[in-house]
């Protein structure tokens, strides 16, 4: 989207008094990310090339810049989580398709749950910009992970063969590897990292109505080999991997979606300001001003909730899982509502196929499903809220705990 004031200036800087650990250095890094995104997008030709080629180039170029940036400082886990959520917000502000422009994304599952050797290898690959997809959903419904039918069987000579079919898989052709969820021979859900070029993978692309930046579709697995080293979270540990990953990932999705709504808000407010200034509109109607004020408040309130959820996960709070489920649903619903209302304020121009507002509205629709369908998330949150509290709510393991076992022992 084309904005006059940057996202950092307009949306993030005003939050500083309520985010006391958001320092000048963080603001400078976010502003640099924004400048880098603008520069790289302008330098990466759009015409002719599929969107995903451009997005992957942006991810790799940003990875290069992050590698040579030594100004990250000594942040706590909670501050790092806040900074990541705000980086997601900045990316979403420019285009929801940039949701994987920075960070390990689904590769975080490998960094947290892989064997030491696998983690070491993937740290290098992810730092270089490799992208990781997740293959969990099946035809019977993504909201019921426990019922997946993709299975492992014992392979003569060692390891397993995996057979089954996944659907609605994003980053289908761009991923360097997938984290695949399946049932082990003992019927326990297990996760493994599978290289994208592994024999036995067959892709069936499907055209999406939004979020078209990455390819999307089915991933069939026929006798795909995995060994013990490829398992994440160990044999039968798939549900814990899924739960821990999404406790951290959903607040990022929430912040990114809100960034897209903020981008639309900035664009609509700028258009209306220009129309009033040039006399095209004699004055701005009260209903328009009310919508701008209300959506501004709603986006900010939901962003602060998303940052709170990210911090809860980073601090291994026992409430993190509940918050991240609720916040993903609330934030994406908030962004979706704003994207239904805001384009109406600028008229039919917002309905043009080449309008950034049209694209944002279509893209946000995909996030109503991806990374957790909302009625399922809120229903499970309600169930948690009406269950008798366990003697002790289990704490989530943090990324640092997983990557540094000595840290866990000390905690
Ligand atoms: C843009 C996009 C990207 C995605 N990317 C990925 C990806 O990378 N990897 C991946 O694995 N998946 C991906 N998904 C799939 C996504 O995770 C699923 O869409 C989501 O989990 C919901 O699953 P579903 O669509 O199968 O819906 P379902 O699980 O079928 O749910 C549909 C509706 O049925 C309801 N329902 C469930 N059970 C019952 C019942 N017993 N009675 C009545 N109603 C019921 C649900 O609550 C919901 O309202 C993506 C989807 C989209 C749209």
CATH number, domain of 376, equals 1.20.140.10
CA distances from 316 to 19, 73, 155, 247, 297 (A): 19, 22, 38, 10, 29
Q: State in Å: Cα 167 to ligand 1 middle.
A: 10
Q: Based on the domain organization, do 216 and 246 belong to the same domain?
A: no
Q: Is the pLDDT of residue 281 over 60?
A: yes
The boundaries of the domain holding residue 339 are 240-386
**Ligand 1 lined by 143 (C-beta under 6 Å):** yes
Q: Is residue 306 part of a domain?
A: yes
**Ligand 1 lined by 180 (C-beta under 6 Å):** no
Q: Based on the domain organization, do 201 and 137 belong to the same domain?
A: yes
Q: State in Å: Cα 368 to ligand 1 middle.
A: 9
What 3-state DSSP class applies to 190? strand
Q: Is residue 116 part of a domain?
A: no
How confident is the model at residue 362, as a pLDDT? 96
Which residue's CA lies nearest to atom 16 of ligand 1? 370
| Residue range 85-109: mean pLDDT, rounded | 96
Q: Based on the domain organization, do 64 and 194 belong to the same domain?
A: no
Which residue's CA lies nearest to atom 6 of ligand 1? 169
Q: Based on the domain organization, do 256 and 198 belong to the same domain?
A: no
Atom from ligand 1 closest to the CA of residue 368? 53
What 3-state DSSP class applies to 337? helix
- pLDDT tens-digit readout, 116-132: 999 999 999 999 999 99
Q: Which helix (H) or strand (E) holds 296?
A: helix 286-314
Which residue's CA lies nearest to atom 30 of ligand 1? 141
Q: Based on the domain organization, do 154 and 93 belong to the same domain?
A: no
Q: Based on the domain organization, do 264 and 344 belong to the same domain?
A: yes
Q: Is residue 402 part of a domain?
A: no
**Structure tokens given for 81:** 């989580």
Q: State in Å: Cα 365 to ligand 1 middle.
A: 13
The tokens 């704490």 sit on which residue? Answer: 395
Q: Based on the domain organization, do 249 and 381 belong to the same domain?
A: yes
Q: Is the pLDDT of residue 395 over 70?
A: no
Q: State in Å: Cα 145 to ligand 1 middle.
A: 10
Q: Based on the domain organization, do 232 and 247 belong to the same domain?
A: no
Q: Is residue 119 part of a domain?
A: no
* pLDDT above 70 as % of the chain: 91
Q: Based on the domain organization, do 190 and 247 belong to the same domain?
A: no
Please give the Cα distance from 96 to 108 (Å, whole number): 20
Q: Based on the domain organization, do 246 and 371 belong to the same domain?
A: yes
Q: Is residue 350 part of a domain?
A: yes
**Ligand 1 lined by 133 (C-beta under 6 Å):** yes
Q: Based on the domain organization, do 170 and 32 belong to the same domain?
A: no
Quote the number of domains for the chain: 3
Count of CB atoms situated within 10 Å of the CB of 277: 9
Q: Based on the domain organization, do 244 and 207 belong to the same domain?
A: no
């Amino acid at each position: 989207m084309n904005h006059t004031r940057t996202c950092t200036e307009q949306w993030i800087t005003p939050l500083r008094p309520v985010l006391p650990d958001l320092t000048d250095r963080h603001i400078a890094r976010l502003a640099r990310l924004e400048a880098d995104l603008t520069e790289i997008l302008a330098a990466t030709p759009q015409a002719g090339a599929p969107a995903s080629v451009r997005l992957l180039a942006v991810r790799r170029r940003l990875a290069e810049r992050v590698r040579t940036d030594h100004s990250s400082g000594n942040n706590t886990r909670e501050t790092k989580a806040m900074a990541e959520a705000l980086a997601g917000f900045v990316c979403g502000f420019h285009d929801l398709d940039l949701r994987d422009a920075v960070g390990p994304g689904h590769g975080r599952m490998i960094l947290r749950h892989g064997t030491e050797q696998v983690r070491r290898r993937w740290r290098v690959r992810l730092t270089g910009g490799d992208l990781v997809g997740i293959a969990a959903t099946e035809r019977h419904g993504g909201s019921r992970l426990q019922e997946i039918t993709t299975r492992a069987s014992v392979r003569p000579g060692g390891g397993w063969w995996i057979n089954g079919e996944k659907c609605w898989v994003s980053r289908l052709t761009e991923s360097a590897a997938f984290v695949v969820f399946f049932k082990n021979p003992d019927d326990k859900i297990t996760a493994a990292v599978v290289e994208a070029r592994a024999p036995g993978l067959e892709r069936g692309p499907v055209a999406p109505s939004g979020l078209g930046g990455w390819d999307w579709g089915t991933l069939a697995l026929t006798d795909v080999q995995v060994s013990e080293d490829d398992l994440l979270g160990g044999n039968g540990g798939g549900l814990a991997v899924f739960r821990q990953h999404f406790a951290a990932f959903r607040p990022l999705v929430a912040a990114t979606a809100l960034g897209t709504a903020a981008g639309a808000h900035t664009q609509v407010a700028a258009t209306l300001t220009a129309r009033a200034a040039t006399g095209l509109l004699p004055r701005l109607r009260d209903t328009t001003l009310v919508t701008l004020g209300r959506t501004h408040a709603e986006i900010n309130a939901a962003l602060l909730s998303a940052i709170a959820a990210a911090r809860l996960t980073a601090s291994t709070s026992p409430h993190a899982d509940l918050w991240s489920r609720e916040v993903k649903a609330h934030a994406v619903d908030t962004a979706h509502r704003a994207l239904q209302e805001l384009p109406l304020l600028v008229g039919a121009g917002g309905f043009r196929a080449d309008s950034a507002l049209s694209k944002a509205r279509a893209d946000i629709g995909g996030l109503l499903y991806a990374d957790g369908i909302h009625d399922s998330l809120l229903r499970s949150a309600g169930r948690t809220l009406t269950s008798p509290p366990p003697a002790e709510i289990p704490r989530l393991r943090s990324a640092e705990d997983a990557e540094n076992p000595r840290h866990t022992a000390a905690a």
